[in-house]
Amino acid sequence: MAIEREPSPTARLAGAIALLGFFACAYTPMASVLSARLQKAPPARPADAIVVLGAGVAPDGVLSDSSMRRVLSGILLFRRGLAPRLMVLGPAYPRGAVEAEERAALARDLGVPAASLLLEAGGRTTREEAALVAARVRALGGRRILLVTGVHHMPRARALFEREGLDVVPAPVVEVSTATDRPDERLELAQMLLEEALARLYYRVAGFL
């Protein structure tokens, strides 16, 4: 007969902290307040290119919600005349869908001239995207970019692109509203904050930032 052991004090403390963290994230505006601070950015200004970072696509070519929000934001910046080129990123995913190609097709449908579109499907990480974009922009004789990505991702992305020698104008995209009072959306915000914090820690430890 197996003997059931009482949880150790450390395990109980960890469980209590996890439970408190869950309720704080789901039922208080903590995650919304922290996320709202990341939305502040200087006004968009003219650049050599608008660069839209990848965010995912389904096997049938349907862009993820974040990918759609980002590319639409980039198209609007282009339509405002803030840059002569729109560069859309996003790698090939299993079973054939290429995010950059799906985004480019949408941009053409919404009036962006094919001659103004640049596709980059080679990068699978933000670090790889930064290196590829820097090479493309320099080859065109440019240096300043309008960087389009999610508000949580922007600090790390901006640092990586600046490390490649580019002048970065941030154009963050809100992917989950901070005005929400729904527990599931608050948890999603908290998850984004945690994932990005861990990613920034890894990049710093690895010497990428």
For residue 41, pLDDT over 80 is answered with: no
**Domain-by-domain residue ranges, the chain?**
11-37+179-205, 43-173
pLDDT score for 200: 85
Tokens 């154009």 belong to residue: 171
pTM: predicted TM-score of the whole model, two decimal places? 0.85
pLDDT of residue 149: 96
CATH superfamily assigned to domain 43-173: HUPs (3.40.50.620)
Which pLDDT score is estimated for 192? 78
DSSP 35-99: HHHHT--PPP---SEEEE----B-TTSPBPHHHHHHHHHHHHHHHTTS-S-EEEE--B-GGG-BH
The predicted structure's pLDDT at residue 18: 58
Q: What is the residue type of 8? A: S
Residue 11 has pLDDT above 80, yes or no: no
pLDDT surpasses 90 at 6: no
| Matching residue, tokens 């914090």 | 197
pLDDT tens profile 111-166: 999 999 999 999 999 999 999 999 999 999 999 999 999 999 999 999 999 999 99
* Cα(35)–Cα(60) distance, integer angstroms: 32
Give the 3-state secondary structure of residue 198.
helix
> Residues 45-93: pLDDT tens digits?
999 999 999 999 998 899 999 999 999 999 999 999 999 999 999 998 7
